[in-house]
Every structure is written in structure tokens, then in C-alpha cells.
């Protein structure tokens, strides 16, 4: 008998009809002799709707109350799902994060899981029930409800699979798996059969929202094999597994885009030791994450410093930096929110040079100006004007021939 954790995302449970269909599918797996733990998201659009309510009332909503509010979306779907299972003639029990208990720290709206008690789940599984658990939520030591950050139901599912030592963790969504790029913006995107945790971590961190990055990190750490697949077909999806289990590694395995960042430039910064710290300390003290950073070389003891932050932090960052600029005697602060970060990812890049220059050439051929660049062992990212996002993604996807399984390039055995 296998123990399987399955997570169904918002579009998969977006109506009562869809919830009934999910219940029928899960019952089928149970009838094959499996113990089933089902993590559900809120209905699609619900978490956004609740967020809008909060913002109508408080510009920067109280974070404890925000969690109280946002966690309700998942309560609705698990209750309806349990009813659907019962209506179909089997038995299910729905459990909230605190009933499980999924313990987290107290960083409201972006809490991290500290431990999971599996006793209640196991008791119900042993009684023959399907156990359905609210995704995205947990509870603090004090008993306050928390949420794990947007997209966090994936993380709930993987954490449960790790804690229960499940045989598999399946993430059901509205596409057939992990693709070479977002299939909703590039028709030539190709489904990847197997991808390593590290590549998936890069893809997720660079904008492929098909998996929440924290879920991939947990899966890697606890060696949980992940299967990303469609709610609406029976097809095999994508397996996220250890790199050494993958026979062929590709030069470039995916193209991603991220439209959630904004660029800030401070002009004519004195080029001397300690200035970067003066700029970035107040930003990090405000809990603002900085992504790409560029500092130009200078001949005149003055330089320009450019970096990116999340768009949601842009207004606060600009305010802080205008003060900093005055203090350090910089000339001015400029910002641009209409940018996108386009990235190519592939473990094969480790052993190959020339990938970045190929990327630059492809963008140049399309007349797309690169505003910033950053590289790591297995990725190259470029910031471009947001209006070029789709063009850039499709051009790179075409040029690296990602619609075909490209040649394996690793030669070591």
C-alpha cells in the first residue's frame, strides 16, 4: 500500500464541479489501494479577492489579521472536497493547519514551517479516510494562524510528504508539467520529462511559478520525488528528481521571465569605500530584498549604481534612497518599473562557454536592448523593457531549439 500526497491548485478546484471531479479522481487512486493525503489551494482568484478586501480597508494591512483572512480560502475548498468524497460514497476528513498541527514561525504572511505532527493524519488514514489538508497555512507556537506566502500550498504538500515519508508527492495544476518556458506565452514550449532539483530551483527562482521555490528546496533537502502534472488529463507530467538520476543533461533547459521586479539607479555616487554599504544597509534594514546589482567603473571618482528590487517594495525603496542620495551627495535617483528579467537556465552551461554571448546576440537580432546582466554557474539573466518579454522569451526558445530535445552535452560518465 502506498501513501501518496497530492496537491491541487486553485484552477483545479475553481468550482464545485471541478471539486467533484477531483474527488472522483482521488477516490480512484484510493480504490487502487493507496492511502491519500490531499492538499488543496483556495479557488482560483479567491486569495486575490481577499487581498483586495484587506487593501480597501488598510493600505498596509495588519499581517496577523491578513493571515486570519487569507487562510479562509483554503478552508472552503477542503470542506467542499470532503463533502464531495462522502457524497461519492467514501469517507474523508478535512483538517486546517492548526488541527494537523503544521507549526510555523511567527513571520506572518511569509511564515516558515518548523514541524509537522503526523499523528492526526495517520489516525485518519488508518481508519480508511481520505485526509484533506488546507494548503498555505500553519499555526504558531502561540496558536496564531499564519500563511506561507503566495503559492505556498506547494510547500505544504512537499513538507507533508517529507514528514509522512510518502511514496510520492504529486502537484496537480492547469498545465501538463514543467515546460521549457511558460506554455501560456510560447506555443512551442515543450514539456520536460525529468528535471533536477537544482535546475528547478533556478527556474522557480527566476519566475517559473509552476512550483513554489520553497517547495523545491524542501523536496531537494528531504529527497521527495515530485511529479508535476495536469488535473485535467491522465498524462504523465514532469518528475523533479536528483541530478545523477537524469541520464541526459541539456545545455539550456528553460527560459523564464519575471515581471515582478523594478530597477533603481543612483547617479553620480562618490566612488569610495563604504558607499555601497551606506546605500544597501537601510534597504536591507527595511526588509527589502535586492536582486541584481551593477556598479559602473568611473574615471571621475563618481559612478552610477543600478539594482533591482521587487515591484511591491519599489515605492518604499525609492523613498529610502532619496534620503540616502542626499546624505552621500549623489546627484539623483531614477526608477523604472516597466522591466522584465529574462533568464536562460541549464546545468549543461557549467561546462560550456559562449552561452551568454549567444543570448546577447539573439536579443540584439530582435532589436532588444539589455539593461542589466547577471550570470551564475547555471543561468544567465538579462533585464529588458517589459514590453519585449514575450518577444525575448520566444526568440530565445527558438534560438536554443528548446522545442526539440537538444543534444545531451555532458561527456563525463
182 binds, among Mg ion, ligand ADP, ligand ASP, none (CB under 5 to 8 A by kind): ligand ADP
8 A C-beta contact, residue 138 and residue 104? yes
Q: Is 254 in the site for ligand ASP (CB under 6 A)?
A: no
Q: Is 136 in the site for ligand ASP (CB under 6 A)?
A: yes
CB of residue 26 vs ligand ASP: minimum separation in angstroms?
18
Binding string, residues 156-195; x marks residues near Mg ion by CB under 5 A = ----------------------------------------
**In Å, how far are 249, 298, 308, 409 from 200, measured between CA atoms?**
13, 38, 22, 19
Binding string, residues 187-216; x marks residues near ligand ADP by CB under 6 A = ---------------------xxx------
Q: Is 392 in the site for ligand ADP (CB under 6 A)?
A: no
Counting Cα atoms < 13 Å in the Cβ hemisphere of 233 gives 10
8 A C-beta contact, residue 342 and residue 370? no
**In Å, how far are 68, 226, 248 from 234, measured between CA atoms?**
36, 16, 25
CB of residue 7 vs Mg ion: minimum separation in angstroms?
9
Cis peptide, bond prior to residue 355, ω within 30 of zero: no
H or E stretch covering 319: helix 314-328
**Which of 289, 331, 325 shows the shortest CA–CA distance to 310?**
289
Pick 136 or 257: Cβ nearer ligand ASP:
136
Question: What is the separation of C-alpha 154 from the centre of its chain, rounded to a whole number of angstroms?
Answer: 9
Q: Is 153 in the site for ligand ASP (CB under 6 A)?
A: yes
131 binds, among Mg ion, ligand ADP, ligand ASP, none (CB under 5 to 8 A by kind): none
Q: Is 14 in the site for Mg ion (CB under 5 A)?
A: no
Pick 20 or 150: Cβ nearer ligand ASP:
150
**Hey, is 243 helix, strand or coil?**
helix
Cα–Cα distance, 154 to 181 (Å, whole number)? 19
Pick 9 or 61: Cβ nearer ligand ASP:
9
Binding string, residues 130-169; x marks residues near ligand ADP by CB under 6 A = ---------------------x------------------
Cα–Cα distance, 105 to 114 (Å, whole number)? 7
Among 20, 63, 64, 150, binds ligand ASP (CB under 6 A): 150
Question: What is the separation of C-alpha 135 from the centre of its chain, rounded to a whole number of angstroms?
Answer: 15
Q: Is 351 in the site for ligand ADP (CB under 6 A)?
A: no
Question: What is the separation of C-alpha 76 from the centre of its chain, rounded to a whole number of angstroms?
Answer: 23
Q: Is 138 in the site for Mg ion (CB under 5 A)?
A: no
Contact positions vs ligand ASP (CB under 6 A): 9-10, 41-42, 47, 73, 135-136, 150-153
Contact positions vs Mg ion (CB under 5 A): 9, 151
Amino acid at each position: 500500500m502506498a501513501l501518496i500526497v497530492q496537491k491541487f491548485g486553485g484552477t483545479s478546484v475553481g468550482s464545485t464541479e471541478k471539486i467533484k471531479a477531483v474527488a472522483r479522481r482521488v477516490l480512484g487512486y484510493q480504490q487502487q489501494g493507496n492511502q491519500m493525503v490531499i492538499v488543496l489551494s483556495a479557488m482560483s482568484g479567491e486569495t486575490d479577492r481577499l487581498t483586495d478586501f484587506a487593501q480597501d480597508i488598510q493600505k498596509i494591512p495588519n499581517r496577523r489579521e491578513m493571515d486570519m483572512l487569507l487562510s479562509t480560502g483554503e478552508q472552503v475548498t477542503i470542506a467542499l472536497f470532503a463533502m464531495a468524497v462522502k457524497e461519492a460514497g467514501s469517507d474523508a476528513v478535512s483538517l486546517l493547519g492548526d488541527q494537523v498541527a503544521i507549526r510555523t514561525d511567527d513571520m506572518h504572511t511569509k511564515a516558515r514551517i518548523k514541524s509537522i505532527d503526523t499523528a492526526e493524519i495517520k489516525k485518519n488514514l488508518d481508519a480508511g479516510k481520505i485526509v484533506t489538508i488546507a494548503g498555505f497555512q500553519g499555526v504558531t507556537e502561540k496558536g496564531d494562524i499564519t500563511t506561507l506566502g503566495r503559492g505556498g500550498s506547494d510547500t505544504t504538500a512537499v513538507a507533508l510528504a517529507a514528514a509522512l515519508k510518502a511514496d510520492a508527492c504529486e502537484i496537480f495544476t492547469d498545465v501538463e508539467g514543467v515546460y521549457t518556458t511558460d506554455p501560456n506565452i510560447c506555443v512551442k514550449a515543450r514539456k520536460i520529462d525529468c528535471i533536477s532539483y537544482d535546475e528547478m530551483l533556478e527556474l522557480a527562482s527566476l519566475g517559473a511559478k509552476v512550483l513554489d521555490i520553497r517547495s523545491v528546496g524542501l523536496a531537494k533537502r528531504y529527497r521527495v520525488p515530485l511529479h508535476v502534472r495536469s488535473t485535467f488529463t491522465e498524462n504523465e507530467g514532469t518528475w523533479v528528481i536528483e541530478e545523477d538520476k537524469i541520464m541526459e543533461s541539456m545545455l539550456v533547459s528553460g527560459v523564464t521571465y519575471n515581471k515582478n521586479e523594478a530597477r533603481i539607479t543612483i547617479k553620480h555616487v562618490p566612488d569610495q569605500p563604504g558607499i555601497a554599504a551606506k546605500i544597501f544597509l537601510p534597504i536591507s534594514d527595511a526588509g527589502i530584498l535586492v536582486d541584481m546589482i551593477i556598479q559602473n567603473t568611473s574615471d571621475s571618482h563618481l559612478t552610477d549604481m543600478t539594482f533591482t528590487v521587487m515591484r511591491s517594495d519599489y515605492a518604499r525603496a525609492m523613498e529610502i534612497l532619496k534620503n540616502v542620495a542626499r546624505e552621500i551627495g549623489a546627484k539623483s535617483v531614477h526608477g523604472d518599473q516597466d522591466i522584465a528579467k529574462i533568464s536562460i537556465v541549464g546545468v549543461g552551461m557549467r561546462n560550456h562557454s559562449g552561452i551568454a554571448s549567444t543570448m546577447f546576440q539573439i536579443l540584439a537580432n530582435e532589436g532588444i536592448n539589455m539593461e542589466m546582466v547577471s550570470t551564475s554557474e547555471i543561468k544567465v539573466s538579462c533585464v529588458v523593457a517589459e514590453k519585449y518579454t514575450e518577444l525575448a522569451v520566444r526568440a530565445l526558445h527558438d534560438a536554443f531549439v528548446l522545442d526539440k530535445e537538444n543534444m545531451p552535452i555532458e561527456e563525463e560518465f
